Amino acid sequence: MDTVRGAAQAERSANQVACLRLLAGTDDPQTVGVISEQTGLSRPTVHAVLDDLLETGLVVATDPSTVGPGRPARAFRFAREAGLVAGVDLGPRGARAIICDLSGRRLGYTELKPDRRGGVSVIQRAIHTVAEESSVDLERLRAIGVALPGVIETNGQLRASLALPELVGLPVADLVSQDLGRPVAVDNDIKLAALAEQRGGAGRGYSDVVYLQIGHRLSVSIVLNGVIRQGRHRLAGELGAQRGMRWTRNAQRGQLTWTSQPTGEAVLRAAAAGDADAQAEIEDFCAQIAVRVATVLLVVDPEIVVVRGGLPPESDVLLRPLEAAVEKELVFPERPPFVSSALGREAVVLGAVGTAFDHFSSGIYQVHGFPSPWTRITHDIPHSLERTTK
């Protein structure tokens, strides 16, 4: 009896997902006839599914319209406005927050200045700020994703962080959840950036992705079989945790230092503009990190390497010498292609909101097995919405 009941529930869920995916994929209301034709489900089954979805508020009926003779046909649309999902990227240089509707469509985005004394409350403040600016009601908020720099426990507690030592030991997920009354998923910022690139960025279409971020520090994250590789102690990719490990000769506690320009971004800009000293420094930098990068590639053997190291016009200045330097370290000719990040500095906050959809999909949609809207989330990265931080 339990087996029969389970099979019936699984079939019911699958039918709900099929109908909801069809409606979520279009802005136009659809009739029962069209839904039946497109999904392959019988009209009585579609009627039953729509009754369930109407009850949850995920689908709304539009005004009947007459197409030809006969009784007006009812049409139905996905109620993407019925709920909200938020993502926050909190780091030492401030916070970014984004709010999406149930289809993954971006409704608001904001940035806040650093506030080391604000603690966890900065996360809540960022969400309230973006909600106020975009005129959305947080009563409709259904889930939150948070990205932090450091080692994150499975319960959302920050175990270790050089960037945010004041938050170490705090149960971040519980604190934010208690304040906002919604479920909260917390993970490492670089891991979430890698996930976003794999799901909807430069790594889309590949299951095994290595993500390499070159900024104030050099960070690595790995996605295997479409899932973030965490490791038994959630230390996968934390190469800086090895005693005495330096990516470069002049690195100080993981912090990269540069000689031709004050920052890595400035070096890349200068190199792209033709500055010989900057170009030479980039080549030397790539030669220094190539051994470590090659080791990661031989351990993981990924399909692609996504590199974030500057704005798109400057990416070739870094990618070409990095590929060449790594190739010199490898005996076998087979190696993955190196490509520039498609999501740039927004990858982390997009990964945060996306992982909230992943973790809490059943609660968000009240339908089991409905896929997270990664394509929509990552479709239009909000560079046009960038503003002076508050």
Cβ atoms of residues 371 and 103 within 8 Å = no
CA distance 40 to 28: 19
Condensed to tens digits (0 to 9), the pLDDT of residues 16-56 reads 999 999 999 998 999 999 999 999 999 999 999 999 999 99
CA distance 32 to 38: 10
Condensed to tens digits (0 to 9), the pLDDT of residues 227-241 reads 999 999 998 888 877
pLDDT above 70: residue 64: no
Residue 89 is predicted with a pLDDT of 98
Identify any residues that bridge with 78 across adjacent strands, giving them in sequence order. 59
Neighbour tally for 77: CB within 10 Å: 16
Local confidence band at 247 (pLDDT 50, 70, 90 cut-offs)? confident
30-68 residues labelled b (16+ CB within 10 A) or e (exposed):
bbbebbbebbebeeebbebbbebbeeeebbbeeeeeeee
- Residue, of 4 and 154, whose pLDDT is higher: 154
pTM of structure: 0.91
Four-residue CA torsion sign, 241, 243, 245, 250? positive
Report the DSSP pairing between strands 218-224 and 227-228. antiparallel
What are the DSSP calls for 195-210, one per residue? HHHHHHSTTTT-SSEE
Average pLDDT value for residue range 233-253: 78
> Which domains can be identified in the chain, with CATH numbers?
9-65 (1.10.10), 83-192+345-385 (3.30.420.40), 203-341 (3.30.420.40)
Q: Token digits for 70?
A: 């006969």
Length of the chain: 390
Condensed to tens digits (0 to 9), the pLDDT of residues 155-207 reads 999 999 989 999 999 999 999 999 999 999 999 999 999 999 999 999 999 99
Four-residue CA torsion sign, 89, 92, 93, 95? positive
CA distance 246 to 265: 20
**Apex CA 149: angle with CA 120 and CA 190, to 5°?**
135
pLDDT above 80: residue 85: yes
pLDDT above 90: residue 6: no
Report the DSSP pairing between strands 304-308 and 209-214. parallel
